[in-house]
Amino acid sequence: MAGTASGGSRRSRLAPYLLVAPGILWLLVFFVVPTLTLAQTSVTGTEGPWWEAYHRALSNYGTHFFRSLRYALGATLLSLAMGYPLAYFIAFRAGSLKNMLLGLVVLPFFTTFLVRTFAWKTILNDGGPAVWLLKQLHILGEGGRLLDTTIAVVGGLTYNFLPFMILPIYVSLEKIDRRLVEAAEDLYSTPMGAFRKVVLPLSLPGVFAGSLLTFIPATGDFINAQLLGSPNQQMIGTVIQNQFLEVRDYPLAASLSFVLMAVITVGVLAYARVLGTEELA
């Protein structure tokens, strides 16, 4: 009996480690090992000192880093401005239409990212409906265009990553106990006051998650800049792709990737500290 009890106790202690073992193995094989390989590549194979590739990355492509961060931030803010009201409406006001609206939010994912971007290119080209409408409204001049502009790239990023903003915010709003809002209104709070004091703070984890899910992939994106922009709108993701696949300057491409990861990590940590809620801590 004592041996059986000891064996059962040992298995119960090992159970948590056995459950996380597949995930840890997956991360080791497909994240840690490639990251270490990339780090080794960034400091080897250069003619100068080990940091020579990083020096070239920062001195030659600083503009591309800044442009990528600016475009990603613009897309994130636009997604938040459009996504939060929509998520609020679905969570609090949609009623029986909730499932249908959620289905419409995720519907674009049934089409590949590349096809969606090509569709955006068709809409924004010089003979497309968007340019025609803006010219009819005298917002664009006769020679005005949308394609190959910053507006097109940021618009494409916003369109493609908007669902990643809406869904986490919706989940946070759906979890809010409606009795808290009713209690605030019973204490003579206006609807706007109840939103500002109750709903908005409780939805911040969703805002944080949605912002990360939008900003991080948008920063490294290269499809939208390549299809919707011109060389003047080239983002750092396009540079990394070209260095890896065309120029084959692997140390420079690896160093560009590491600089991008470092910039994003610092930005995310700063954002988490500024936004900080108990759930995020």
- pLDDT, tens only, 171-191: 999 999 888 888 888 887 888
Identify the pLDDT of residue 278. Answer: 47
- What is the C-alpha separation between 223 and 206, in angstroms, rounded? 27
For 212, phi then psi, to 5°, come to -70, -45
- Supply the range of the domain harboring residue 78: 52-275
In a domain, 172, yes or no: yes
* Residues 10 and 102 occupy one common structural domain: no
* Residues 38 and 135 occupy one common structural domain: no
In a domain, 12, yes or no: yes
**Digit-coded pLDDT (tens) for 179-232:** 888 888 888 788 888 898 899 999 999 999 999 999 999 999 989 999 998 889
- Does residue 3 surpass a pLDDT of 80? no
- Does residue 58 surpass a pLDDT of 80? yes
- Does residue 94 surpass a pLDDT of 60? yes
* Residues 126 and 8 occupy one common structural domain: no
Give the alpha-carbon dihedral of 242, 231, 62, 70, to 10 degrees: -110
* Residues 119 and 25 occupy one common structural domain: no
In a domain, 110, yes or no: yes
pTM: 0.86
Domain tally for the chain? 2
* pLDDT band with cut points at 50, 70 and 90 for residue 170: very high
* Residues 8 and 142 occupy one common structural domain: no
* Residues 113 and 25 occupy one common structural domain: no
* Residues 224 and 103 occupy one common structural domain: yes
In a domain, 281, yes or no: no
* Residues 35 and 94 occupy one common structural domain: no
Domain CATH for 187? 1.10.3720.10
* Residues 162 and 183 occupy one common structural domain: yes
Q: For the chain, what is the mean pLDDT?
A: 88
**Digit-coded pLDDT (tens) for 116-169:** 999 998 888 888 888 888 888 888 877 788 888 999 999 999 999 999 999 999
Report CA-CA distances (Å) from 155 to 53, 104, 107.
33, 19, 18
